[in-house]
Amino acid sequence: INHIPFLITQPGRYVLAHDLSFHSSGTAIEVQADHVEIDLDGHTLDGPHRKDWISHGIHAYASDVTIHNGTLSGFMYGIELATPKVGTRPSKIDIHHLILHDHDFRGLRGASISGCKVHHVLVQHIGGTVVSSDAYAFGIEFIAGDHNQVFQNHINHVEAVGIGESVGIAFTDEWNSEI
């Protein structure tokens, strides 16, 4: 990967060639294919650092995805894992050895995900979006999934806006998931 935005529609291993900056709203790297590895190779994917823009560092709608070995900074969502369509549930996702910092809303969010492992991740300085006057801030959040695991991570400085809540790790409507 030597430019962004970057769309992944084929299985394979994708390596960040160097530090990259994303200066707009939208998504820097979007994953629409199963069986994908994104190796940041020690590099940084830097976002717009705009608290009034909706932006994603990596947005994945797929199964058997690995994201590791680098830094994501300055997006609304560092990483968002989501269901591509009703009736499907991405599974076997491995997120590890990352630094997620200075994101305005969520460091990492998974919605309707099954069998995701998040480990050896440093999440810090999350919050501050002005898209909503009372926005919650989450370091790591899972919603409506099952068998997800979050372990051996460090969460520092999560700060909501207004009367929103500041949450390090949250599982909402999860089944058989564990911290």
Residue 128: band (very low, low, confident or very high) from pLDDT cuts 50, 70, 90: confident
Mean pLDDT across the chain: 92
What size, in residues, is the chain? 179
Check residue 150 and give its pLDDT: 96
Give the integer Cα–Cα distance in Å for 41 and 33. Answer: 20
Check residue 131 and give its pLDDT: 84
Cis omega (within 30 of 0) on the bond before 5? yes
Percentage of residues in the chain with pLDDT exceeding 70?
94
Check residue 81 and give its pLDDT: 95
pLDDT in tens, 73-93: 999 999 999 877 666 677 899
Check residue 146 and give its pLDDT: 87
Exposure pattern of 41-51 as b/e (b: 16+ CB <10 Å)? eebbbbbbbbb
pTM of the model: 0.94
Check residue 85 and give its pLDDT: 62
Check residue 152 and give its pLDDT: 97
Tell me the mean pLDDT in the region 51-63: 94
Which residues 6+ apart lie within 8 Å of 76 measured at CB?
47, 53, 54, 55, 56, 103, 104, 105, 106, 129, 131
